[in-house]
Amino acid sequence: MTRHTNGVNGQDARVAEFDWEAEGLLEGLDGPEREARVKLLDELAGDGVAVEELRTAVEEDRLALLPVERVLRGGGQRLTPDDVAIIDHADLDRVSAEELVESGVRVVVNVSPSSTGQYPNLGPLTLLRGGVRLIDAAGAPLFEERAFLDGLDLETNGRAAVAFDANEDGALDLFVRSVQAPEALFVGSRRPNEHFLRLRLSGTPGVDNRDGIGARVTARLPGGRTIVTENANASGYLSTGSPIVHLGLGAATRLENLTVRWPSGAVQNLGPVEDVDRTLLVQESPRK
């Protein structure tokens, strides 16, 4: 039971009591996750958010977005998780800002100041010109140490971490290599309404490399959201990433368009993709 009091020095105070369990807003939660949910609900209710709005947000899995929406309330924006990027980037540079604009987000929440004044940087202006709202210097409380909840608090001297889909179930897994300790594989999971598309690129011999390393993939989803990623095959100490490009699609069940820009500069437009949740082999088309 949570009590909220509104008033000044106890005068004309109104007391509201909320039983979040009875309201059905804590279903399936226990331990630290339950405590975090109660804390967020208390804060939002204390700010005047109605219980019905909280219930709708929980049902739509967007409760964590309400604090950001309240900041943007004057614009009447209704957000989904794909609309918001949370970063920690002091003196946001132009290249990083351009990537944020290309990703299709509508709001960027920067924990750090986007411009400290130490030197000129064009990141904030790039976001503005791209139509992306910036909530600046939001502060570190946006981030919470939750590794212990997921079993990722290894007490080892880690040297490399590689994310890839080890069991090909559509969820990225994490492989960790440590010094004088066994390797660890953390298996990820995805919800039934979360979809993906994996791309195995095959470059033309003598033109591009076999795995299409360096290719840029652009996927346009229904509703206008665009995903831009590169087959970078990032590596760490004695490790390398997967050459398979993994696209997390959220609730989207198809792509409006898929384009690959190969390292040679050739652009291959693959058009719409109607079937997702699979691995798609993309062979570079011969030059005419």
Other beta carbons within 10 angstroms of residue 240's beta carbon come to 12
- Quote the CA–CA distance of 162 and 236 in Å, as a whole number: 8
Count other Cβ atoms within 10 Å, centred on residue 219: 23
Q: Which range has the worst mean pLDDT, 35-44, 101-110, 133-142, 229-238?
A: 133-142
Give the three-state DSSP class for 131: coil
Q: Can you give the pLDDT at residue 65?
A: 72
In contact, 124 and 114? CB cutoff 8 Å: yes
Classified as helix, coil or strand, 103 is helix
116 or 233, higher pLDDT: 116
Residue % of the chain over a pLDDT of 90: 28
Report residue 237's pLDDT band, with 50, 70 and 90 as the boundaries. confident
| Most confidently modeled range among 10-24, 175-189, 245-259 | 245-259
Residue 181 pLDDT grade (very low, low, confident, very high; cuts 50, 70, 90): confident
The secondary structure element, H or E, covering residue 110 is strand 107-110
Residue 177 to residue 159: CA distance in whole angstroms: 6
Per the model's pLDDT, the better-predicted residue between 17 and 215 turns out to be 215
pTM, two decimal places: 0.55
Q: What is the pLDDT of residue 10?
A: 42
> Residue 7: pLDDT above 50?
no
- Determine how β-strand 84-87 pairs with β-strand 195-202: unpaired
pLDDT for the residue numbered 75 = 46
pLDDT at 63: 79
Q: Find all residues with CB under 8 Å of 210, minimum gap 6, and list them.
A: 202, 203
Residue 24: what pLDDT? 87
Domain boundaries, the chain: 12-59, 75-144, 149-283
| Spatial distance between the Cα atoms of 74 and 88, rounded to a whole number of angstroms | 25
Residue 148 has pLDDT above 60, yes or no: no
Confidence of residue 126 (pLDDT cuts 50, 70, 90): very high
Position with higher pLDDT, 262 vs 31 = 262
pLDDT of residue 259: 95
Task: Please say if the pLDDT value at position 234 is more than 80.
Answer: no
Report d(CA 103, CA 115) in Å as an integer. 22
Mean pLDDT across the stretch 207-223? Answer: 91
Residue 212 has pLDDT above 60, yes or no: yes
Residue-wise DSSP of 62-79: -GGGHHHHHHTGGGT---
Per the prediction, the chain carries an average pLDDT of 82
CA distances in angstroms from 136 to 23, 89, 100, 219, 260, listed in the order given: 34, 10, 15, 29, 34
**Cβ(83)–Cβ(106) below 8 Å:** yes
Residue 141 has a CB neighbour count (10 Å cut-off) of 7
Tell me the per-residue pLDDT of 41-88, one tens digit each, with 9 for 90 and over: 888 888 788 889 888 888 877 777 777 776 665 545 566 666 788 888
Q: Which of the 8 DSSP states describes residue 141? A: G
